[in-house]
Structure 1
Amino acid sequence: MVFTFIDSHCHFDFDPFKNNEVSYLQMAKDKGVTTLVVPSVNQSNWNHVSRLAHQFDEIYYALGIHPLFITPSYERELENLGELLDGKNKKCVAIGECGLDFWYPESDIETQISVFRQHCLLAKQHQLPLIVHSRKSHDMVLKLLREIQPERGGVIHGFSGSLQQANQFIDLGFYIGVGGVISYERAKKTKMVISQLPLDKIILETDAPDMPLFGFQGEKNSPDKVRNVFEYLSLIRKESMQTISETVYKNTTSLFGI
């Protein structure tokens, strides 16, 4: 049976992909992965992800500032981001990676909130979906999304919260990003949540080269592993593999307009 996939979150500008793009894209294609969405982390790689998207038909990109990559010059970066989005082309399909990360005690929470609020406003202005990083911060992310109400929604990347939180994001027009965490036996809560979500609100991702699946610990993750994520998803869902594949693919093309 032939399945087709999109990796909705792959940092394809990072090592080990640099200068090896063709071989990794072929590896992905061999597993049915036809398309990648490559988010950026801050101004330092906006040009790189844009160039990749123009070089390869399979690649689309997003522009944003990751909460763990906020620099002292973030205000100027936000101005530059707005200017880039004013002149964006059709291969720029989202704003991100952006969001909140309260994992580290030393985090500058107020700055993170300010920067994420600006991303939400830009998403509303440019009618683009958001790729949202949310770690130990779901309640604040929900608060900001309710306040600003970006119409195109987006995806909560690498979701590992509660079923209630997932449904709250879905009610705001967001999809839930499912990655390699569901391959681990210890991830019982996350697997339970993902098993109960509406299938038409799920999209697949790798977060490559990070978040390796079970059995690949210590290795660099890669976009071909979306196929593995799909197989693990099929183990915890009641729908057929065909239905899951077709629905998740359609979800992703609908979200990003690709």
Structure 2
Amino acid sequence: MIERRPFDRLGGADHGWLKAKHHFSFAGYHDASRMGWGALRVWNDDTIAPQTGFPPHPHADMEIITYVREGAISHQDSLGNAGRTEAGDVQVMSAGTGITHSEYNRENVTTRIFQIWIIPDENGKPPSWGARPFPKGDRSGRFVALASGFKEDTEALPLRTNARVLGATLKAGESVAYALERGRYAYLVPATGKVDVNGVKLDARDGAAIRDEATLHITAIEDAELVLVDTAP
């Protein structure tokens, strides 16, 4: 089963400095049929104007992954962490027992991010934050784990949940396959480009909610940058 969720039909909000699209219910957008996909709870497609951002605010007991598509995001939190994550790179905040953070676009250009929330396997763990560069060339023609709750993914940022966030880049006409274990859920979004997934065509920034597909065969119709979440039910 692959359910295409067209970008132009997603929920969202326009705050002026922030233009947001929500793949799942979030903030003022509520759809009872889109409360999550397995342990995946939030996938926001955010466009942040230069020299603006999210002021300090709290979170608890959530794995929050930020994938920077364009520009850069500058993070600061109540643990004393601070960092700048550039396009193509990833940061992970495990909110745990509680953390307050800010996320600002300190650049002179627009920043675009995917923010992904996944429910942790256990609550009440100490909060943490980390970021890592993931050169797009290393993902050419293959999926690379960017953040993961699996010990074998040694190069990925750690998650406290039975899930992986993966990235790949494909040139037009190029294909990649991904095996999805029985009972697991996947959610795929092309950050850029058009792709075919087991016969279902996706445009840039469309979502695909996937289950009961043993293997995903993904072919790029045009050059594409992909982000995939593989999670437990």
What is the TM-score when the length of structure 1 is the normalising length? 0.37
**Which has the larger share of strand?**
2
Structure with the higher fraction of residues in helix conformation? 1
